Structure 1
């Protein structure tokens, strides 16, 4: 296969693009308002890891604003959100539930994370496959 040849990406329905915009807006407004309020007014005595996690979520909320304008370009951000929440839901929450170690903290985060299931139906998976898996890798060095 010629590495210079681009693979045509499948079209993405406008409703999916607009639904992704809506999800990015929710991430920016809902998560952003909660996390930024916590960072600005409650963070003085937090353990380092909590401050780190909240800072990362705040940055995610800010970058989500770009997703409202450019949903297809910011698709990797949505994939990251899907990935970390799915990992947490399956490896932490599900395991806690199955072993009887469910706590109020886990339940609270579960409620925050379970909505990501909606994104599984909105993300254009054929586009993701074509763009990130089927396309040739970018060259490691320039030839010539």
Structure 2
């Protein structure tokens, strides 16, 4: 056995392989990505392509962000494992919106129909993400080696 074969065999023995989630989980992730595309595309792309009025800066930034987010979700339909960070972003922003916007409005008795409606969108998104994201894969691929010093 030459040196090159010996090194590659040692690397194969010491490298950890990350098990892919089952196909049914990947298909559920694809469905979630597709739902995100559909849900975001109609509202945001129509506002960009066919504006009814001039948007203020912050509204324009938000609409543009969500339109771009919808395009990334298209990639998630094709490459669900590579685009898990998009699902994590969605989970985190919906959770922080509840904590930072909805709960203070409720505490200060400032709730309105828009806040109430979006709360249920956020709750549905959080539940779907918690159920569909392959958490074992996320741990093994993203978190396990995060604090290891090399």
TM-based fold match above 0.5: yes
Cα 1:127–1:43, aligned 2, differ >3 Å: closer, same or farther? farther
Structure number with greater CO (CA < 8 Å, separation at least 6) is 1
Q: d(CA) in 2 for partners of 1:55 and 1:130?
A: 33
Deviations 1:34-93 (A, max 9, x none): 210112122641110000001000000011001001100111111111111111022211
Aligned to 2:137, which of 98, 119, 127?
127
1:100 alignment partner, SS class? coil
TM-score (norm 2): 0.80
Query: What is the aligned partner in structure 2 of residue 88 from structure 1?
Result: 97
Q: d(CA) in 1 for partners of 2:133 and 2:16?
A: 20
Query: What is the aligned partner in structure 2 of residue 28 from structure 1?
Result: 37
Q: How does 1:48-127 map to 2 (within 5 A)?
A: 48-116=57-125, 117-127=127-137
**Structure 2 unaligned runs (5+)?**
1-10
1:45 alignment partner, SS class? coil
CA RMSD of aligned residues (A): 2.4
Deviations 1:85-140 (A, max 9, x none): 11102221123223322123322432432321211111011111111111257999
Q: d(CA) in 2 for partners of 1:26 and 1:79?
A: 15
Q: Give the paired residue count.
A: 137
**Structure 1 unaligned runs (5+)?**
none
Q: d(CA) in 1 for partners of 2:146 and 2:102?
A: 37
Q: Which has the larger radius of gyration?
A: 2
Flag as ranges the 4+ runs of structure 1 deviating above 6 A. 137-140
